[in-house]
Structure 1
Amino acid sequence: MRTFTDVAELEATVGQEIGTTDWFEVTQERVNAFADATDDHQWIHVDVERAKSGPFGGTIAHGYLTLSLIPMFNTQLMRIETTGARLNYGLNKVRFPNPVKVGARIRCTATLGTLTDVPAGKQMVTNYVIEIEGEAKPACVAEMVVLLLS
């Protein structure tokens, strides 16, 4: 894990890979819990029997579930200990090129994309790629924007 204690350390890392997480198994229990939390109970995610004859041969994780794992992955990748608060500002781009089948293992690689001045402090864009073990195409690619308040 990388620890950044000031903005200068972040600036020196722009364009560099921060790291890659450990593998993480996506379970049916997690998919079901996400379905309950979001009220998205589409059969392709939660009906194990019906999904066996579906396009993926079994249930798959919600794309937004995969995306929502970035904060968990981030705890393995980096810690930012600058003096100001950090706020999730949003996402510039998100794509889900490949579904995550339940039981698959995924991991995340992060690269610090940009760090720019904004009136409240700095805007940091981090590029995340969530890959699926044994698959050529990633599950998710996303640009997350965080404000580092001064």
Structure 2
Amino acid sequence: MRILNGIAELEQAVGTHLGYSDWHTVTQQQIDLFAEATGDHQWIHVDAEKAKDGPFGGTIAHGYLTLSLVPMLSWEVYKVDGVRMGVNYGADKLRFPSPVPVGSKVRAGVELVSVTPGSAGYQVVSRVTIERDGDDKPACVVDTVSVLVP
């Protein structure tokens, strides 16, 4: 994990790749729990028998499940000391270029895009790329927007 000591050090890191998270295995239980929480029970995600004959040869994670892993995986990449709190503000340029079959290992790579001062704190944009082990195409690419309050 990369530790940045305050906003000034964070600003100096703009334009750099901050690192990678550990690998995380996406399980069917995780997919099923996500389906239960969101009400998205599409067969491609939750019906292993039917999905065997589907386009991916088995179940795949919901795209939004993959997106929901971004905070957990990003927290493994870096943190900023000297701030009171950070809050999610939104996301830009979200794409799911490649599916995540059950049992896949994924990790996040984080690039710091910008740090902009504002009235509530500093708006931070990070480009997070979720990679799947063994696949050249990313599973998810998103510019996350957060606000850090010193």
TM-score w.r.t. structure 2 length? 0.96
Q: Aligned residue for 1:134? A: 134
Deviation for aligned residue 1:49: 0.1
Deviation for aligned residue 1:85: 2.3
Q: Aligned residue for 1:12? A: 12
Contact 2:7 2:80 in 1 (8 A): no
Contact 2:91 2:142 in 1 (8 A): yes
- State how 1:106-125 maps to structure 2 within 5 Å: 106-125=106-125
Q: Deviations over 1:7-51 (max 9, x none)?
A: 101011000011011211111010001001111110000000000
- State how 1:15-30 maps to structure 2 within 5 Å: 15-30=15-30
Q: Deviations over 1:65-102 (max 9, x none)?
A: 00100111122111222233211100012100000000
In structure 2, the residue corresponding to 1:44 is in which secondary structure? helix
Q: Aligned residue for 1:77? A: 77
In structure 2, the residue corresponding to 1:50 is in which secondary structure? helix
Deviation for aligned residue 1:103: 0.8
Q: Distance in 2 between matches of 1:121 and 1:9?
A: 15
Q: Deviations over 1:121-145 (max 9, x none)?
A: 2110001001111111100000000
Q: Do structure 1's residue 101 and structure 2's residue 88 form an aligned pair?
A: no
Q: Aligned residue for 2:44? A: 44
Q: Distance in 2 between matches of 1:110 and 1:48?
A: 32
Deviation for aligned residue 1:148: 1.4
Contact 2:31 2:61 in 1 (8 A): yes
Give the number of aligned pairs: 150
Contact 2:113 2:127 in 1 (8 A): yes
Q: CA RMSD in A?
A: 1.0
In structure 1, the residue corresponding to 2:71 is in which secondary structure? helix
Post-superposition, which runs of at least 4 consecutive aligned residues in structure 1 deviate over 4 A?
Answer: none
Percent of pairs with identical residues: 50
Q: Distance in 2 between matches of 1:7 and 1:118?
A: 13
